[in-house]
Every structure is written in C-alpha cells, then in structure tokens.
Structure 1
Amino acid sequence: MKNVLIASFDMEVGGVERSLVSMLENFDYENYNVDLMLYRQQGDFLSFIPSQVNLLKEIKEYKTYRKSIKETFKEGEMLIGISRILAKLNSELKGKMAGIEEPGYIQMQLMWKYALPFLPDFKKEYDVAISYLWPHYFVAHKVKAKKKIGWVHTDYSVIETDIKSDLEMWNQFDYIVAVSDACKEAFLHKYPGLRNKVIVMENICSPEFIIEMANKKIDHTMFKDSRFKIVTVARLSHAKGIDRAVKALKMLVDKGYNDIAWYVVGYGGDEPLIRNLIKENDLEKYFLLVGKQINPYPYINAADLYIQPSRYEGKAVTVGEAQILAKPVIVTNYPTAKSQVSNNVDGYITEQSIEGIVEAIEKLYNYPYLRSNLTEKCKEKNFNNKHLLKDLYKVL
C-alpha cells in the first residue's frame, strides 16, 4: 500500500472542490492509503468526502490562509500576520510598478513565501504528495515525499504571477497536472522550462451522480418560472464575467426580450457590485441571484440555456456538467474554450464581449432547432472519464 497525501484549502462550494470530491469518490483505496490535508475544515462539501479518506487534523498556522489579517492577529499568529501585511503592501507596489490592475495572485504568492519560516513542517513522510490548489508552497516546502505532484486548474496566460517565485515552487515538483491541453499550453507559454514535468488529466466527473442530483426536488421560485430561463453556475468574481451577463441581459430587455430570466447560482466577493449593477439597470425581476447551493444541478436541469460568460477559465467544471445534463451551452471565447466545447456541435462559442453574449443568446433563443441540435449532440457524447485515474496511478 502506498501512502498518499492530498492537500487543498477547504471544501467550500466550487468547481475545483467538486472535481476533488469526484476524484476522491473514484480513487483506488485497495492500493492507496489517502490522507487529506485541508488548511481549514470548512465548507458544504465536507460531507461528500468518502469514508475511506483519512481527514487529518487542522494545523492552526495553516488555518490562517482562510482567515483575514485581523483574525490572524487576534488569534495570536503575530509573525504570520505581519508577513500577510508585507505581502499585501509589496504586491500592491509591484502591481503599480508593472501596471497590473489586479495583483491578487502575486499577493497570494508573497503571503505564502513570507510566512514559510513561521509554518511548521509536516512530520509524516509520504510516497506521493499531491497539492490540488495553487499556490502549492505547503507541499513544495513543508512536506517530505518521494514524489510530488501539483495541479493546474487555471489559464496562466491571463493571470499575473511572480514568475521567479513560482519557479522556485514548481521546481520542487516531479509532475505538474494540467486539467486540459489548452491549460497545459498556456502554462508552458509562461514556464517553458517545465515542459518535461507537465502532463494532462481532465477533471474526473461522474455523470450518474450529476443526473441523480439533478433529479432531486428543490423548492425555489425558479422552478415555477414559465419564462425562458438562462442559468449560470459560478463564483461572483471578475474572472467569471457575471457583470457582463447583467449588461448583456439589459441590452436584451431593451431590445424587447421581456420573457427571459437569468438565474445565477453561486456566491463571491463581487456580490455587492453585481447587486448594484442589477438595481442600476432595473433588472431585479430579470436577473436573479440564487446564492450558494450545495446541489446546483436541479437549477441547471431546469434551464433552457446554460451560459458561462467568463473572462478566463482553466476548464470550467460547470460547462461539462451542463453538457452531461444535455443543456445547450454558450461559452465566451476565453483562451481554453475550444478545449471543452466544439463550436456549433456540443456548444456555442461566442466572441469575448457583451455584444457577443447578446448575439449568441438571440440566435439560440430565436432558433429552437439550434438548441435542440446541441442537446442531441450532448446526449450522444460519453462524459464518463473515470478511466483517466489510471493515468494518475501510473504517475503514482
């Protein structure tokens, strides 16, 4: 039996966390002992962790990464708190000097880098240690393992990171797993020297589980809404483009499309901004925020159209889930879109703009046969990819 450590931040509702649950549900526990290290044991997906997984005790220093600077000081972690402040100030300075509008990724890197001396080493040694969510400093620098693997879930061509700092971390890993070919190429464009380490493994999904969950009854006004329903499942963040969705719907309503309702399932830091945008555009009856849902699948199942209006993605878990439920899908043309959707076959890729989103909705709204064609192609496709875990076992 090989001993495997998997590390991640928490089990809050999100695409990465859903993909982690799917991987854990299908893991080979006859040949592997699996320890799961969560920096903070919180989130609605905690209950989905299989019983075969050994959930390790929290370590108070690592819990700070899911807490504010104020909370960190309040709990007596003074040195970590100071390192967090330095990371914030230095990332803002680097952002201004380099003209980076959103230096949040650099701040995340620096807060790990500066805090490393004050974080405890992991005592147990493993055959394999997997870091499932960037930044991977914990597994890179604090865990002893014969082999280390880091996961890449995002499109590195559109995020600003400190390359030197990242390379110091990535060089501690034997393998780097990208969730799509496009994700791999975007990563290698930034870090070409790491090519020999990068492999591709798509997010594991279970169509049976998704279909079962989609058929559960949920009490929500959406299910009584007779209008044409658009659904998006996403974090309320700049990356996911929900602000553009609001503006696109405003354009449609102004054009006379008064029987469209757009439901967004999810939560995030941009919620106040989105709510203000909805109010400013008088869309309270048309653009509706459902909030965080442990089970988003009945909402997707009730949709006439699923849309992912993202500015960038690694590989959107929710798009694949909508296709499993045979929904006509629209995605914006973010750099990795073509790795997930075959345009005009099992989905529709529209140009990366508000006008592009509007044009795509009009087209699929006005021509039901186009929606039907996309649905039929999704029904023909086999989305079960549990066999991909065999590729991971070869690496292990």
Structure 2
Amino acid sequence: MKKILIASFDLEVGGVERSLISMLEQFDYKHHSVDLMLYKHQGDFMSLLPQKVNLLRENRHYAAFRKSIGELLRNRQYAIGLSRMIAKMHAGFMGAMKRITEPGYYQMQLMWKYALPFLPKMEKKYDMAISYLWPHYFVAEKVNADTKVAWIHTDYSTVETDRAMDMSMWNKFDHIAAVSEACRDSFLRKYPELESKVWVVENITSPNFVRTLADEEITSPLLSDRRFKVMTVARLSHAKGIDQAVHTLKLLKDRGYDDIVWYVVGYGGDESAIRQLISKYSLEDRFILLGKQLNPYPFMRASDIYVQPSRYEGKAVTVTEAKILGKPILITNYPTAGSQVEDGYDGIICDLSVEGIARGIERLYHSEALRAHLVRNLKDMDFSNGDELEKLYAMIGNRNPEGRVAWN
C-alpha cells in the first residue's frame, strides 16, 4: 500500500477544486492510501470528499494563509502576520518599480518565503507527495516524501514571479504535472531547463458525474428567460476576463442586440468592480451575476452558448464541462486555447479582445447551423479520462509517465 499526500488550499467552489474532487473519486484505493492536507477546512466542496480519503486535521499555522493580516494579529500569530505585511510591502514596491500589472503572484511567493521559518514540518513519511496548487512551498520544504509532484494549472508565461525563487522551489520536485500540452509548452518557455521533469496529466473528468448533476432541478430566472442566453462559469478575477465580458455586452447592446443576456456563475475579489461596471453601462437586467453555486451544471445546461472570456488559462475545467453538456462554445485566443477546442470543430476561438468576443457571439447568435454543427461533433467525443491517473501511479516509483526508468 503506497502512502500518498495531496496538499491544496481549501475546497471552495472552483475549477481546480472540482478537478481535485474528480481525481479523488477515481483514485485506486486498493493500492494507495491518500491523506489530504487542506490549509483551511472550508468550502462548499468539503461535503463531496470521498470517504476513503483521510482528511488531516487543520493546522493553525497553514490556515493562516486563508486569514487576513488583521485576523492573524488578533489571534497573536505575530510572526506569520508580520511576514505577510513585509511581503505585501515588498511586492507593492517591486510591482511599482517593474510596472507589474498583477503583482499578486509575486506577493504570494514572498509571503511563503518570509513565513517558511515559522511553519512546522510533517512527521509522517510518504511514498509520494503532491502539491496540487501553486505556490508549492509546503510540499517542497515541509514534507518528507520519496517522490514529489507539483501540479500546474495555469499559463506560467503570463505570470510575473521571481524566477530565482521559482527555480529553487521547482528543483525540489521530481515531477511536474501540466494539465495540457499547451500548458506544458508555455511553462517550458519560461523554465526550459526543467523539460525532463514536466509531463502532461490532464484534469480528471467524470462525464457521468457532470451529466447527473446537470439534471438537478433549480429555481432561477434563467429558466424562464426567453432571451439568447450566454453563460460563463468562472472566478470573478482579472485572469478570467469577466470585465471584458461586461464591455462586450455593452458593445452588443450598442449594436442593437436587445435580446442577448449574459449570466455568470462565480464569485471572487473583482465582484465589486464588475458590479460597478455593470451599473455604469446600465446592464443590470442583462448582465446577471448568479454568485457562488455548488452545482453550476444546470445553469450551464439551460444556456444557449458557453463563453470563456479569459485572458489566460492552463486548461479551463469549465470548458470541458460545457463540452460534456453539449454546449456551443466560444473561447478567447489565450495562449493555451488550442488545447481546449479545435476551432470550428468543437468550439470557436475568437480574438482576445472585446471586439473579438463580440464578433464570436454574433457569429454563434446568427448561425443556428453552426451551433448545431458544434453540438453534433461534441456528441461523438469521449470525455472520460480516468486512465490519466496511470501516469501519476508511474511517478510513484520515480518513473516518468511514459514508463522509463503529524506536526512537529
């Protein structure tokens, strides 16, 4: 029986978290025992954890990464609170100096760097430890395992980080699992010296799970809305481009499309700014935020098309889920878009701009034949990929996926 540790932040509603749940559902528990380390025991997906997974007790030192600096000071966690304050000031200064548009990633790196001396190590020894979400410092520095694997879900060529700090961390891992070929390629453009470590292990999907949940009854104005319904499921963040979606709908409104409505399932730090933008353009009745939904699939199924307006992605779980539900799909041409859909076959790829998204929506709006063509092709596709886990099992013996050789 191989002992495996999987570490992540929490189980809030999100694509990465859904892919983690799907992987845990299909794990081989006859030959592997799995401990799950969540920094914070929170999130609507907590109830979906398979019973065979051993959820480790929450540790207050790591739960600190899901608390505000004010909370930490009130709880007398002064060392970690101070390290967070220094990281925030340092990142703010460097962001201004280097004109980094999104210094949050750099700040998170610094936060871990300054906090590491105050964080405990794990006593238990594992055959494999998997860090499922960046940054991966916990598994790199605080876990004893024969094999260490880091998962990458995003396009790292778009992320501003300190490369020297990154390399020090990546070098602690035996394998790096990228969720798509395009995600792997973009990662290697930034870290070419890591090529021998990086393998593609796609997000595990369960088509039956998605389709079953999509049949769940919901009460929502969406069901009785007779307008042309655009759907997006995403965090309200810069990366996901929800602000671009609002600008797009304003453009379509100005062009006379009065019967297009855009629904968004999700939540996030940009919600206030997005609501202000909606109000500015008087789109309250046609750009509708549905908030956090534990089960987004009935909303996706009730839509006419699915749109992913992201600025960058690794491989969006929601796009695959929209495929499973047979929805006509439009995605922006982010660097890894080609790994998500084949343009004109199982989806449409548009320019990564407000004008590009608007033209893509217009194209699908006016062509019922194109929508039917995309849906017909999706019906012939097999989305089950539980065999991806075989690549992970191969790594336990420090073989590559192609077969070559308690707290203290």
Distance 2:324 2:31 in 1: 30
Per the alignment, residue 279 of structure 1 pairs with 279
| Structure 1 runs (4+) greater than 2 angstroms displaced | none
For 2:306, what is the secondary structure of its paired residue? strand
1:159 aligns to what? 159
C-alpha deviations, 1:221-271, integer Å up to 9, x for none? 111111110000000011111111111111111111111110000000111
Matches within 5 A, 1:317-396: 317-396=317-396
Q: CA deviation at 1:55?
A: 0.2
Displacement after TM superposition at 1:74 (Å):
1.1
Counterpart residue identity of residue 15, structure 2: G
1:339-393 alpha-carbon deviations (Å, 9 max, x no partner)? 1110000000000100001101111101110001000111111011111111111
Structure-2 residue corresponding to 1:75: 75
Q: For 1:252 and 1:103, how far apart are their aligned partners in 2? A: 32
Give the structure 2 partner of residue 230 of structure 1: 230
Alpha-carbon distance between aligned partners in 1 of 2:363 and 2:96, rounded to the nearest angstrom = 42
Corresponding residue for residue 199 of structure 1: 199
In 2: Cα distance, 1:112 partner to 1:156 partner: 18
1:308 alignment partner in structure 2: 308
| CA deviations over 1:150-200 (Å, ceiling 9, x no partner) | 000000111101110111111110000000011001111111111111110
Counterparts of 1:391 and 1:62, CA distance in 2: 29
Percent identical pairs in the alignment equals 59
Equivalent residue, structure 1, for 2:404: none
- List alignment gaps of at least 5 residues for structure 1: none
Matched residues in 1 for 2:146 and 2:76: separation?
Answer: 34
Name the counterpart of 1:248: 248
Aligned residues of 2:262 and 2:287 also touching (Cα < 8 A): yes
Is the CA contact (8 Å cut-off) linking 2:182 and 2:339 kept in structure 1?
yes
Task: Point out where structure 2 has 5 or more consecutive residues left out of the alignment.
Answer: 397-408
Q: Which residue type is aligned with residue 367 of structure 1? A: S
Letter in 1 for 2:75: E
CA contact (8 A) 2:328 2:371 kept: yes
Secondary structure at the residue paired with 1:384? coil
How much has 1:103 moved relative to structure 2? 0.8
Q: What letter corresponds to residue 108 of structure 1 in structure 2?
A: M
Letter in 2 for 1:386: G
Query: Secondary structure of 2:164's match?
Result: helix
Aligned to 1:23: 23
Counterpart for residue 186 of structure 1: 186
The aligned amino acid for 2:162 is D
Q: Give deviations 1:198-228, integer Å, cap 9, x for gaps.
A: 1101100000000000011001111111111
Map residues 167-186 of structure 1 onto 2, 5 A cutoff. Answer: 167-186=167-186
Q: Matches of residues 96-107 of structure 1 in structure 2 within 5 Å? A: 96-107=96-107
- TM-score, normalised on structure 2? 0.96
Cα root mean square deviation, aligned: 0.6
Which residue number in structure 1 is paired with residue 239 of structure 2?
239
Alpha-carbon distance in 2 for matches of 1:228, 1:249:
12
Deviation at 1:96, TM superposition (A): 1.7
Give SS of 2:156's match. coil
1:97-151 deviation line (CA, Å, top 9, x unaligned): 2221211000000100110000011111111100000000000000000110000
Question: What code does the residue aligned with 2:233 have?
Answer: V
Q: In structure 2, how many angstroms separate the alpha carbons of the residues matched to 1:289 and 1:178?
A: 31
**Counterpart-to-counterpart distance in 2, 1:76 and 1:167:** 33
Which letter maps to 1:180?
S
SS of the equivalent of 1:320 reads helix
Query: How far apart, in 2, do the equivalents of 1:76 and 1:15 lie?
Result: 34
Provide the rounded CA distance (Å) in 1 between the counterparts of 2:134 and 2:158: 15
> 8 Å contact 2:147–2:395 — kept in the other structure?
no
Measure how far apart 1:395 and its partner are. 1.1
1: distance between equivalents of 2:141 and 2:128?
14
**Secondary structure, in 3 states, of the residue corresponding to 1:240?**
coil
- Count, aligned residues: 396
